[in-house]
Amino acid sequence: MIVLNGGSSSGKSGIARCLQTVLPYPWLALGTDTMVDAMPASLQASESGIAFGPDGGVSVGPRFRELEDAWTEGVAAMARAGARIIVDEVFLSGA
């Protein structure tokens, strides 16, 4: 597994695509944007889900954390099953 961590619009997705091109085996690129896009619209701009402030700040609520935990377990399960994964991530709290 390769983890790319950085702020929004820092080039992580582009790096992931480049890695997919040059690495010798197929790699899946998954990231926070993929998870947020898969969330119900009602959680994409709410206190219980994820909200983006005008200053670029991000706040996450308990429903987001529940889905994030499940997402992380799912990505880890794919890696354990043998998938090569590039994770395009924005760590929203401590490690």
Q: Are 44 and 50 in contact (CB under 8 A)?
A: yes
Q: Are 18 and 4 in contact (CB under 8 A)?
A: no
**DSSP sequence for 10-78:** SSHHHHHHHHHHHSSS--EEEEHHHHHHHS-GGGTTSSSSEEE-TTS-EEE-HHHHHHHHHHHHHHHHH
Name the fold adopted by 2-89: Rossmann fold (3.40.50)
Q: What pLDDT score does 58 carry?
A: 81
Q: Which residue has the tokens 């010798």?
A: 24
DSSP assigned state of 92: -
Q: What pLDDT score does 95 carry?
A: 47
Q: What pLDDT score does 24 carry?
A: 93
Q: How far apart are CA 31 and CA 52, in angstroms?
A: 17
Q: Quick check: helix, strand or coil at residue 27?
A: coil
Exactly one of 33, 55, 69, 88 is catalytic; name it.
33
Q: Partners of 2 in the beta sheet?
A: 86
Q: What is the mean pLDDT of each run of 10 residues along the chain (95 residues)?
A: 80 90 95 87 86 82 91 95 91 56
Is 33 tagged catalytic? yes
Q: What pLDDT score does 27 carry?
A: 97
